């Protein structure tokens, strides 16, 4: 299958628009040929997942683009980095790692990217629109954009997302194309299921584990309270599997009916999900029992939205933890700025609240205490943190997390 390039693509490839653009287009062309794309398409925006410092190669790549006069061509947001630039005192990192971690974040800004440093760019003013073609990295952002918003992106990895941003182009393949967005595997929720936050996490875990490379359709899902519950579902599905798009019948924009989600065809497989299945999936996220001593609470993976803060803050005042158990809340700097402008965080430190921006507590050494379990309401955090930072995890909903912080030990299900 031949890849056809237009005159603009050829101009970039031949170096007529600078060496950085030529390098980006050369990589993009090779990638497009590898995935079998016939042409490239224009994108309206990009989200870059390469701000986490994983070694010198990641920094070298961006530095070379800067040296070649590179600059992004579309509005481009940045995922979390390895450092909290807003609260540098929180991060425990040797200077030999801190310097390149900071430099990598700054280097992306020199390419013209926006200083968002959030895994939830859909919470910023750069949120895409229904049907808009974009090139996003970061698994939860990808599945949210495709599923909840109805924008169009594939799962772009490090460097390819930046090459798309540098050229304003992406390969016309995969989820960019309507025919490839058809649901293929059907998950039916059975029985009476309460629409709790944990429900959406549990459904996401199961969908991710069972979908493989097929696009899941979920029927019988209760109407979500807000998009944060869908955010949690998508993040869990993208964590335990390769899900980049899900359709929730009657909820997500491309699935007003089951027939629409499946494009009029029959599903390749139907899987029924019971309350017991969900409870079993959630139980596997915890490695400690109720009553286990608690070292910290970590919320906001993906980053806490303003709505989630508005649910959390009254809860803190009501339960009044303040027993020395820190409550870390990962959030985007734009959301944090809004909260500060509103005066919403005044006095919250007395309850153990510690906002974290620009990064996340499961990828950066921030937690002060590791002498007990860390409790979270995030399926993604619970999945990754044990391997990343070596902690024991207790999973529970937000109310459970705050009550546990107040008691100093894991409490679940007490109302």
- CA neighbor of 201 nearest in space, from 286, 319, 297: 286
Pick the CATH number of 7-178 from 3.65.10.10, 3.30.499.10, 3.40.50.10860, 1.10.3720.10: 3.30.499.10
Pick 370 or 414 by higher pLDDT. Answer: 370
Task: Give the DSSP per-residue string, 270-298.
Answer: EEEE-HHHHHHHHHTT-SS-TT-BEEEEE
CA distance 36 to 3: 8
What does CATH list as the number for 294-407? 3.30.499.10
Under 8 Å between Cβ of 71 and 128:
no
pLDDT band at 415; cut points 50, 70, 90: very low
What percentage of residues in the chain have a pLDDT greater than 90? 95
3-state helix, strand, coil in the chain (%, to 5): 40, 15, 40
pLDDT digits (tens, 9 = 90+) for 136-160: 999 999 999 999 999 999 999 999 9
State yes or no: pLDDT of 323 exceeds 80. Answer: no
Taking only the tens place, the pLDDT of each residue in 240-297 is 999 999 999 999 999 999 999 999 999 999 999 999 999 999 999 999 999 999 999 9
Burial of 69 (0-12, 13-18, 19+ CB in 10 A): exposed
Judged against a pLDDT cut of 60, whether residue 414 lies above it is answered with no
Residues with Cβ within 8 Å of 398's Cβ and at least 6 positions away in sequence, in order, are 197, 299, 308, 311, 312, 315, 377
**Distance between CA atoms of residues 293 and 144, nearest Å:** 34
How far apart, in Å, are the Cα atoms of 391 and each of 100, 215, 300, 362?
26, 33, 17, 9
Instruction: Give residue limits of the domains in the chain.
Output: 7-178, 182-283, 294-407
Beta-carbon contacts of residue 173 (< 8 Å; ≥ 6 apart):
32, 35, 36, 37, 154, 180
> For 63-69, what is the mean pLDDT?
97
Does the structure show a pLDDT above 80 at 382?
yes
Work out the number of other CB atoms within 10 angstroms of the CB of residue 60: 10
Cis peptide before 131 (omega within 30 of 0): no
Per-residue model confidence as pLDDT tens digits over 174-229: 999 999 999 999 999 998 888 899 999 999 999 999 999 999 999 999 999 999 99
Identical fold for domains 7-178 and 294-407, yes or no, is: yes
Print burial letters for 364-388: b (CB count within 10 Å at least 16), e (below 16).
bbbbeeeebbbbbbbbbbbbbbbee
Residue 173 has pLDDT above 60, yes or no: yes
The mean predicted confidence, pLDDT, of the chain is 96
What digits encode the pLDDT tens for the residues 326-338?
A: 999 999 999 999 9
pLDDT at 193: 86
pLDDT for 32 beyond 80: yes
Residue with token string 């921030």: 366
Contacts of 306 (CB under 8 A, 6+ apart): 123, 335, 338, 339
The pLDDT score that the predictor gives to residue 321 is 78
Cβ neighbours of residue 139 closer than 8 Å, sequence gap 6 or more: 155, 235, 238, 239, 244
pTM, two decimal places: 0.97
pLDDT band at 371 (very low <50, low <70, confident <90, very high): confident
Under DSSP, the state recorded for 2 is: P
């Amino acid at each position: 299958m031949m890849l056809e390039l237009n005159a603009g693509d050829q101009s970039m490839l031949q170096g007529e628009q600078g060496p950085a653009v030529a390098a980006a287009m050369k990589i993009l062309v090779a990638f497009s040929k590898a995935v079998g794309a016939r042409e490239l398409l224009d994108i309206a925006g990009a989200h870059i997942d390469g701000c986490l410092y994983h070694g010198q190669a990641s920094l070298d790549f961006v530095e070379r683009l800067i040296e070649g006069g590179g600059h992004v061509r579309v509005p481009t947001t940045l995922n979390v980095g390895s450092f909290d630039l807003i609260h540098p005192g929180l991060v425990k990192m040797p200077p030999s790692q801190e310097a390149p971690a900071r430099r990598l974040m700054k280097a992306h800004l020199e390419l013209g990217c926006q200083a968002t440093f959030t895994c939830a760019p859909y919470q910023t003013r750069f949120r895409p629109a229904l049907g808009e073609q974009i090139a996003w990295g970061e698994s939860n952002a990808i599945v949210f954009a495709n599923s909840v918003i109805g924008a169009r992106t594939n799962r772009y990895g490090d460097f390819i997302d930046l090459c798309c941003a540098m050229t304003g182009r992406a390969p016309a393949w995969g989820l960019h194309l309507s025919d490839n967005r058809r649901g293929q595997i059907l998950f039916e929720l059975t029985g009476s299921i309460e629409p709790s936050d944990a429900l959406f996490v549990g459904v996401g875990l199961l969908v991710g584990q069972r979908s493989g490379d097929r696009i899941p359709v979920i029927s019988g899902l209760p109407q979500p309270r807000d998009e944060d519950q869908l955010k949690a579902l998508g993040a869990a599905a993208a964590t335990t599997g390769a899900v980049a798009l899900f359709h929730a019948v009657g909820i997500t924009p491309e699935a007003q009916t089951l027939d629409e989600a499946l494009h009029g065809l029959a599903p390749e497989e139907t899987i029924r999900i019971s309350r017991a299945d969900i409870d079993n999936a959630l139980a596997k996220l915890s490695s400690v029992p109720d009553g286990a001593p608690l070292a910290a609470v970590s919320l906001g993976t993906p980053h806490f939205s303003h709505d989630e803060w508005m649910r959390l803050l009254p809860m803190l005042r009501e339960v009044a933890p303040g027993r020395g158990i820190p409550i870390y809340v990962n959030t985007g700097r734009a959301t944090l700025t809004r909260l500060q402008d509103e005066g919403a965080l005044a006095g919250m430190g007395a309850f153990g609240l510690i906002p974290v921006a620009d990064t996340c507590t499961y990828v950066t050494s921030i937690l002060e205490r590791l002498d007990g379990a860390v409790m979270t309401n995030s399926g993604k955090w619970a999945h990754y943190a044990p391997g990343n930072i070596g902690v024991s995890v207790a999973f529970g909903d937000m109310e459970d997390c705050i009550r546990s912080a107040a008691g100093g030990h894991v409490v679940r299900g007490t109302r």
